[in-house]
Structure 1
Amino acid sequence: MCGRYVQPKSVGDLARIFGAVVQAPADLWEPSWNIPPSSSIPILLESVAGEAEFQRRIALAQWSLTPPWSKTLTSRFATFNARIESASEKPAFKASVKSKRAIIPASGYYEWVGEGASRRPHYIHLPDGDLALAGLYSWWRDPAADKDDDARWHLTATMLTSDAVHTIADVHDREPVPLPRDLWDEWLDPTVAGDQELLDRVAAASLPIARELVHHEVAPLRGDDPALIEPLS
């Protein structure tokens, strides 16, 4: 699983990296080194947004996916992660697998080692470079809101995970799925009908990147600043 991650870039920088436009209010988002589930996070997606053709854009989403059929925005089940091995079969995720796939930019993420009070966070990242993590998104409409109220629509997202590679398996048995650059376009393209075959292919293609991941212990996560990812001395 991944329950905390780091995104230190501005949305302007992300837009330049991914060749996307920034959709308000994503332009108000601030970089963070301590992002928990249910936070508003920048995601990359492609869809029609008042335009005549598909547009690649950066939007803010709640980091916990809510399927359209849910009666409430908040679920009693954890939906900030989805297992890539079975997401195409799960009621909460299968519609998103088909046509609502996203990229979640990150520089790294945290996992904990130990139990109880002795749990110690580790920062997991690439030695040189950032991560484009495979995600899914969904739009949830608030049934209590007026149909003319644009705020009734809530964009939500989840991060796909797979079995951890040997380089970080001593920290956690699951990890987010990093997308290689040559799969970004296909992954985001909503005209590509996603299925388990696509998920399996993405999981296999992610392995060379995942094998490059390194980690180091950091101090307990308090506050939100760049010092959080510094190695514990």
Structure 2
Amino acid sequence: MCGRFALDDKVNTAITEFVEQTGRRPDEWSPDWEARWNIAPTENVAVLIDSPKTRDLRFEQARWSLVPPWSDSLKLKFPTFNARTEGIANKSTWAKPVKSTRAIVLASGYYEWTGEKGSKQPWWISPADGLIGFAGLYSWWRDQSKADDDPDRWVLTTTILTCPTIGHLADIHDRNPVTLPQEMWEHWLDPTIVGDQALVDEAVDAHAGEARGLTFHEVAPFKVGDDGPELTARVRGAE
């Protein structure tokens, strides 16, 4: 699973360069993400999406916990910050976004915990260089309590796909967030491709290769509300 992650402000330059390379940069383009090191579910995260109407790649902030359009409330009775890939195309919450509203959720790295409750050890998992692009889904949720001309009436929400763990990450957690190589981002985002279980499985297969480049180390325990790059620092003396 993935319940905490971080994204530094280098993403602004990295994503600008990526979008310019694709030749699909929107007219208004000014990524302004501020570095955060302890992002939790329901907080805002940075996502890359492909606009079905304009076919621009858009860098947006989204609420991390997908809310289907049919929901009466932004708060659901079940967690939706992660979505299991197994059989996902047949699940009512996920089937529609799998078809056409897929996202890349951007990260510098993420945290997992091992050990027993009360003495859990956090680990920082990250690539040697560059960004992580998690395979995600997104949905626009309409707040019916707000007027039609209220700019906050639409809320962009997102989730991160997870799959059974692979290789060297197996001792840390039994599931991994699905990480995609950058050369697959546009393919995953393309709204003209009708997503199905085969596309999701393709992403999981790509993750198996991408995850081999992830490294991990122990970090000091931290609390809700803690922030800063020191959260990712290796515990002194840890191998």
* Structure 2 length-normalised TM: 0.90
Cα pair distance change 1:134/1:23, threshold 3 Å: farther
CA distance in 2, matches of 1:138, 1:87: 15
Residue 45 in 1 paired to residue 49 in 2? yes
Which position in structure 2 is the counterpart of 1:5?
Answer: 5
CA distance in 1, matches of 2:91, 2:40: 23
Which position in structure 1 is the counterpart of 2:162?
Answer: 161
CA distance in 1, matches of 2:193, 2:127: 29
Q: Report the AA paired with residue 40 of structure 2.
A: P
Give ranges in structure 2 of 5+ residues lacking alignment. Answer: 20-24
Which position in structure 2 is the counterpart of 1:173?
Answer: 174
> Does the 8 A contact of 2:9 with 2:33 survive in 1?
no
Give ranges in structure 1 of 5+ residues lacking alignment. Answer: none
Q: Report the AA paired with residue 144 of structure 1.
A: S
Which position in structure 2 is the counterpart of 1:215?
Answer: 216
Instruction: Indicate the RMSD between aligned Cα atoms, in angstroms.
Output: 1.9
Partner secondary structure for residue 50 of structure 2: strand
Shift in Å, 1:150: 2.6
CA distance in 2, matches of 1:132, 1:17: 15
CA distance in 1, matches of 2:31, 2:126: 25
Partner secondary structure for residue 169 of structure 2: coil
Which position in structure 2 is the counterpart of 1:15?
Answer: 15
Q: Report the AA paired with residue 232 of structure 1.
A: V
Identify the range of structure 1 (1-10 vs 95-104) with the bigger mean alpha-carbon deviation. Answer: 1-10
> Does the 8 A contact of 1:33 with 1:225 survive in 2?
yes
Q: Deviations over 1:87-122 (max 9, x none)?
A: 211111111100000001111100001121111100
Which position in structure 2 is the counterpart of 1:29?
Answer: 33
Which position in structure 2 is the counterpart of 1:227?
Answer: 230
* Structure 1 length-normalised TM: 0.92
For these two proteins, the number of residue pairs brought into alignment is: 229
Runs of 4 or more, structure 1, over 3 Å off, are: 20-24, 26-29
Shift in Å, 1:21: 4.9
> Does the 8 A contact of 2:12 with 2:33 survive in 1?
no
CA distance in 2, matches of 1:157, 1:213: 23
Partner secondary structure for residue 193 of structure 2: coil
Q: Deviations over 1:145-200 (max 9, x none)?
A: 22232311000000011111120111100111111222111111111100001001
CA distance in 2, matches of 1:22, 1:227: 37
Which position in structure 2 is the counterpart of 1:120?
Answer: 121
Q: Report the AA paired with residue 41 of structure 1.
A: V
